Structure 1
Amino acid sequence: MHPHNRAHGAAHILAVAAAENRVWTVPSIPGHVQHSSDLFAPCPQESTLPRALTAFVWSRSAVRRRARRGFRNQVATGSPWLHLLQIDPDLLEVARPVDPLTGKPKARTEEEIDPTGTLLFVEHGLDGGLLAPRVVEAARAAFDSPITVALSHRDAATAPIRAAYEALGVETVDRGPAADASGSAEPRELLRLYHLMKNFAHVAANTAREELFYATSLERPIAVVGPSPDGRPPAATADELVAMTDDELGRGDMLEPQELNDLFEWSARRG
């Protein structure tokens, strides 16, 4: 299976959506699953992909962009994120007691928490932690609420970046590894991100990125706040991102479970 298919939990989500039940061993996918938005820049590894390899992309918009770049063999499936929102997320986690009537895990009993505060995604670039004061100030101007910065796994392991936010009195959270851990029951990145975002009332970022699409799909207000790491204006405003969310995530391109099984050639393997 292509290495990209083991990123962010995308293949795991698609397998659960297709099976409509818990799946731990993800069947091989005969192609490449789009793992992040290509709206503003193509995947950095795209040039290494064989032209004949089928690409399973989020939306017809992504199909058109790839076609302009010379790729012809692609199918829109709807984004793994939207498939995650349609399934019971508990099916992606360690098994809990099963309801004998439904065969599915019993619902969580803990109370829902009212979302508060702002979750901020920062691309630091070469500026590293030096960017922190300006981005935090801009986020506070956009949403007058406590800020938590969601750091990439690499940035969270970089002491000067963490220290820059600690000096500002801002909490940070490690998003964890993007790659799926083989043989592990740890929640995949998209599931971790889903649970994280549900706790916050607003979401902001200093670049236009897919997390803002995800937040919009959860009906969270978003903001694109400066400065970006290269000093250039954002590629899109918050209003533009909100307007593009359904198209970019592929809401109109979502495949049904049987269609996913047939597309990925899983039907015969499951009998």
Structure 2
Amino acid sequence: MHHANHFYGHAHIMARYVGLEHPPRIWGYLQHGWNMHDGFAVGTVFAKGYPKFVWSQACSRRGWAAGLRGYEVVGAPWLYLLDLERTTDSPAVQLNSGRTAPVTAPSPVEPSGTIVYPFHGWEGQQVVGSHADYLAEIRATEGDVPLTVCLHWNEYDNPKVRREYEDAGVRVITHGQRGYLWQDTDVAFLYRQLHEIRTHRRVVSNRMSSAVLYAAAAGVEVGIYGDPMELESDHAVLGGIGRPRRMWPAMHQESVPAGYAADVALSELGGDTVLRPEEVIDVFGWHAEIDAPGPPPPAPGLTPAGRGPRRGRRARHRADSHRSPADAEPVVGTVSVTDAVTVAVTDAVTDAVTDNVTDAGRSAERAQTEVATGSTPSSPTLSPSDVVEGGAPVATVVTEPGGTASSNRSPVDPTAERVATASAPDRD
């Protein structure tokens, strides 16, 4: 399946909903975060003939307006999680079949305090703004209540940002890692988020985001206020700061009326399009793995995520990131290919690929020597398709006598999945 289908444990939630412990391949592209465009990361490459599974009719209409087709509306995985984790005092999630989720248990504690979700960046784009100033505004507005700040892993792994909140004496957490290329997927991410939302009286952010919509759908009071900050090199097609404010001005205040917030959230998350388990099996193409829905397996544990394992594509944080517009900086952890026998590796290649890069450099040196002497290469020659990600070569091209080439990559299959060329997360 496309790797973004796994983000935030979405595929695992959908699998648990139908009674499976592990998710089979989803035959299509599942929206992984809320945005005001077509539902997917800018630059996503779609294989012809595969459906685009989006959360809501609103998102589908925006995608059609952008020229895309092949949409199927299935509802946000968050709503399926609410269905699985219903409590005696949480609002019922009305499914399109008319059934409601079973009651499981009362909420763990009496909600108190406020949890804050600052606008976040990702590996390729950092946030520009003052977290200290934002926290001061939060304190002035929320008053003398317990404060929890939940940082996206991108900011949580930046000691400079994390310390701005920790030094102010607030509780700082992260729900875990989003995952990338089927690695580091934290399947308990949304379970932790639901737990935290339910234990706080209010959820606030400086931007309209998935977190705010999730909280409103769960019946928790929300607010959107404060410096919205900026995203480096933001894509205009996503609407920036202005478009959500123009469409939902009443959402942008310190305390949003509960009924209005829930209506907006369920419209954007697809509250009227949540599928029955049998329908999920059908639309995702899971008949080969399961004939009929079964009882859901146990939920993953809520063990604190902490900082998590070091990622293969380790992020570098500049001292001035999140503070001022970004200066140009060298790309970290990349391989530049200039011709079939010359590979230049940047000095900042991450530790996770060091061994592979060393081998690649030796192969390149041998190939350069052989070309200079006119001899036929006796070992595989690196090509642009040999670029490694997370320590694993993507493909190997071998130069045969006479100048022909063979590859370990299978012949192009028009129905094969294609990994997105850009994986910038949406406004999640």
CA distance in 1, matches of 2:197, 2:181: 22
Partner of 1:155: 155
For residues 24-66 of structure 1, give each alpha carbon's deviation from its aligned partner in whole angstroms, at most 9, with x where no partner exists.
Answer: 2211110000000122685334442335431111011111011
Q: Report what 2:108 is aligned to.
A: 112
Letter in 1 for 2:115: L
1:31 to 16, 28, 32: 28
What is the TM-score with the length of structure 2 in the denominator? 0.53
Residue equivalent to 1:132:
131
47-56 or 247-256, larger mean C-alpha shift: 47-56
- Aligned-pair distance for 1:209? 0.5
Distance 2:38 2:111 in 1: 32
Structure 2 regions of 5+ residues with no counterpart? Answer: 87-103, 232-240, 292-428
**Superposition deviation, residue 255 in structure 1:** 0.9
The two structures have a TM-score, normalised by structure 1, of: 0.81
What's 1:93 paired with?
A: none
Distance 2:264 2:217 in 1: 11
Tell me, in whole angstroms, the C-alpha distance in 1 between the residues paired with 2:209 and 2:195: 18
Q: Superposition pairs for residues 16-165 of structure 1, below 5 Å?
A: 16-17=16-17, 19=18, 21=19, 23-39=20-36, 43-50=40-47, 52-88=49-85, 112-123=108-119, 131-144=130-143, 145-165=145-165
Q: Percent identity?
A: 25
Residues 147-156 or 233-242, more deviating: 233-242
Single out whichever of 25-34 and 229-238 deviates more from structure 2. Answer: 229-238
Aligned equivalents of 1:87, 1:42: Cα separation in 2:
24
Partner of 1:235: 244
Secondary structure of residue in 2 paired with 1:75: strand
Name 1:95's counterpart in structure 2: none
Partner SS for 2:173: strand
Q: For the Cα contact (< 8 Å) 2:37–2:62, is it kept in 1?
A: no
1:257 — aligned with what? 277
- The alpha-carbon distance between structure 1 residues 199 and 134, as it changes in their structure 2 partners (threshold 3 A), is same
Distance 1:183 1:32, change over 3 A: closer
Deviations, residues 96-123 of structure 1 (Å, cap 9, x unaligned): xxxxxxxxxxx77x98211111110112
Q: Which residue pairs with 2:265 in the alignment?
A: 245
Please tell me whether the aligned partners of residues 31 and 53 of structure 2 are also in contact (alpha carbons under 8 angstroms). yes
Equivalents in 2 of 1:123, 1:208: separation in Å? 9
Q: CA 1:64 to 1:170, structure 2 compared with 1: closer, same or farther past 3 Å?
A: same
Query: 3-state DSSP class of the match of 2:244?
Result: coil
CA contact (8 A) 2:3 2:180 kept: no
8 Å Cα contact 1:203/1:223 also seen in 2: yes
Q: Kindly state the Cα deviation for residue 137 of structure 1 after the two structures are TM-superposed.
A: 2.4
Larger Rg: 2
1:134–1:226: 8 Å Cα contact kept in structure 2?
Answer: no
- Worse-superposed segment, 191-200 or 209-218: 191-200
C-alpha spacing 1:56/1:41, structure 2 compared with 1 (3 Å): closer
C-alpha spacing 1:162/1:196, structure 2 compared with 1 (3 Å) = same
Matched-pair contact (CA < 8 Å) for 1:36–1:43: yes
**Secondary structure at 2:47's aligned position in 1?**
coil
Structure 2 residue 196 is matched with structure 1 residue 196: yes
Q: Which runs of 5+ in 1 are unaligned?
A: 90-106
Matched letter for residue 131 of structure 1: S
Aligned length: 250
Q: Partner amino acid for 1:13?
A: I
Mapped contact 2:178–2:184 kept (Cα < 8 A): no
- The 3 A distance-change label for structure 1 pair 188 and 180 is farther
Is this contact kept in 2: 1:205–1:212, CA < 8 A? yes
Whose helix proportion is higher, 1 or 2? 1
Q: Following the alignment from structure 1 to structure 2, what is the Cα–Cα distance between the partners of residues 57 and 114? A: 34
Return the alpha-carbon distance in structure 2 between the equivalents of residues 149 and 57 of structure 1.
Answer: 29
Partner SS state of residue 219, structure 2: coil
Q: Contact 1:121 / 1:205 at 8 angstroms: preserved in 2?
A: yes
Partner of 2:215: 215
